[in-house]
Structure formats: C-alpha cells, structure tokens
Amino acid sequence: MLIDSLNEKNDSSPAYVAGLVAVVGCDGTGKSTLTAELVKNLRTRWVTERRYLGLISGEGGDKIKRLPLIGVWLERRLAAKSEKTQRMSSKSPALWAALIMYGFSLLRLANLRKIQRLAQSGVLVISDRYPQAEISGFYFDGPGIGVERVKGWLMTRLAASERRLYQRMALCRPELIIRLDIDVDTAFSRKPDHRYEELQDKIDAMVKLHYNGSRILELDARAPYSEVLEKALDVISSVAVASQRRDKVIV
C-alpha cells in the first residue's frame, strides 16, 4: 500500500530571511556605491543597516590590515598570493594559505549569522556581496580552498569542510538578491587597476549563480547610475512593505 509522505529532510526551498537584501555582481558593477546610497535613502523610512559580506579585497582587506601585529604582513601576503590562490585554474594552495582561507570562511559564517539575527530583529539589512556554495573561489565569494584542485587527505578534508561552511551559509537565503549585470569593457573602465581576464572570469561565474533558489532581480549596471538606484529602491521598498516593516517607520 502506498502512503502519502513528506520528506522533511529534503527541504528544497528553505525559508528566506525577511528584511535581508543582498547586492551582488562583478567588481565595478557599483555594489558599494549602490548599497551606501540605498541605505541613505531607505533610512528615511525604515531602520536600515549596510553590511559587507565580501572577504579579502576592498573593505575586507582594510579589516585584515587592522588585525593586531600580523595585520599588515598578512594582508600583503594574501594580496600577493590572492592572484594565484583565488583563481581555481591554479594549483592547490599551500597548507598555511588553506588554513588562513578556512579561518576567513569561518569569520564569514559568523558575520552572516550576525547579519541574519540583525534582520530577524526587524532591521532592514542591505548587504554588499553574498556568499555562495556553487562555484569555488574567494573571487566569486565561494569556498576559497576548492575541493576540485586539492590533493592529499588533509587538504581534501579541509576543502570539503570549508565547502560545508558555504553550504550552511547558502541555506540562509536573502529575501531578495539584486544582481548587477555588466560587460567586461564597462567593468574594466570602472576598475582599471583590475586585470581584464579576472573581470571576465567574475562576470562569467556571476551569471551562473542561483544562490540556492533565492529571488534574484537582475539590473543592467551599465545604465545611468540614477536609473539603477531608482529601480533598486522601488523593489526594495515593495519588499520591505510586504514583509510588514511598516512598524519600523521612522517619523
């Protein structure tokens, strides 16, 4: 006899975190510019906070530099290594680099948990970047070590364990992801200090990500900035109203 059943272990659509909005996209799409301005605008209506969920480059790099004693040294070493260690086409990172990457991934998970709690407390959170478990590489905000490129028992265990951290992070789905799309020439014109091939890699990877089935709004980041801002504001406002943040209105 057949019995109807619901396999609760295989929940393919975990709940999203209400009030958490992430802005993702390749370098130069305008994530930092947009998230800062969104928060300024949204704060007139709701309690809103901006958070950074990237890692080494940009704001993350500055944080590393501020670590006591080893900060400046570590930031330089990672910056020098990052070209090689972050690109998945390169060979396995050294054990010391893999351990540091693992540490950064743990910090990212802790940071995400704090952000999740902040959103659950009723604050509208706009995050610059978001971790994903689909493509390896810190370049793409995925696992840094990369199970695909490591050899040996210890490194394989470490890489697999780091991937599980990202799979846990992927279960925490934002209410909305805004993906900024761009072409490589425009991205390069806005980030001339980056390598052209690196930007192309990031653009190619970015469009493939599903963020564990999250709702994704695609915006053309080549459009005039005011247009991008207006579209993002519109959709976030409707999301915020729908998730009943009216009680958080500032008068």
Ligand X SMILES: Nc1ncnc2c1ncn2[C@@H]1O[C@H](COP(=O)(O)OP(=O)(O)OP(=O)(O)O)[C@@H](O)[C@H]1O
User: What residues line the site for ligand X (CB under 6 A)?
Assistant: 25, 27-33, 58, 190-191, 221, 223, 225, 228
To ligand X, the closest distance from the beta carbon of 249 in angstroms equals 28
**CB-facing half-sphere around the CA of 142: CA atoms within 13 A:** 26
Q: Name the binder of 146 from Mg ion, ligand X, none, CB < 5-8 A by kind.
A: none
Residue 57 binding Mg ion, by CB under 5 A: no
Per the CB < 8 A criterion, the answer to whether 150 and 156 are in contact is yes
Q: Identify which range of 28-36, 132-140, 179-187, 230-238 contacts Mg ion by CB under 5 A.
A: 28-36
Closest CA to 194 of 135, 139, 157, 137: 139
Q: How far is CA 36 from CA 28, 40, 138, 191, in A?
A: 15, 6, 23, 18
Q: Name the binder of 28 from Mg ion, ligand X, none, CB < 5-8 A by kind.
A: ligand X
Q: Identify which range of 53-61, 151-159, 188-196, 197-205 contacts Mg ion by CB under 5 A.
A: 53-61
- How far is it, in rounded angstroms, from Cα 156 to Cα 175? 33
* Distance in Å from the first CA to the final CA of the chain: 61
Q: Name the binder of 202 from ligand X, Mg ion, none, CB < 5-8 A by kind.
A: none
Return the residue of 18, 32, 39, 43 that touches Mg ion, per CB under 5 A. 32
Q: Choose between 46 and 139: whose C-beta lies nearer to ligand X.
A: 139
To ligand X, the closest distance from the beta carbon of 156 in angstroms equals 30
Closest CA to 180 of 221, 216, 140: 221
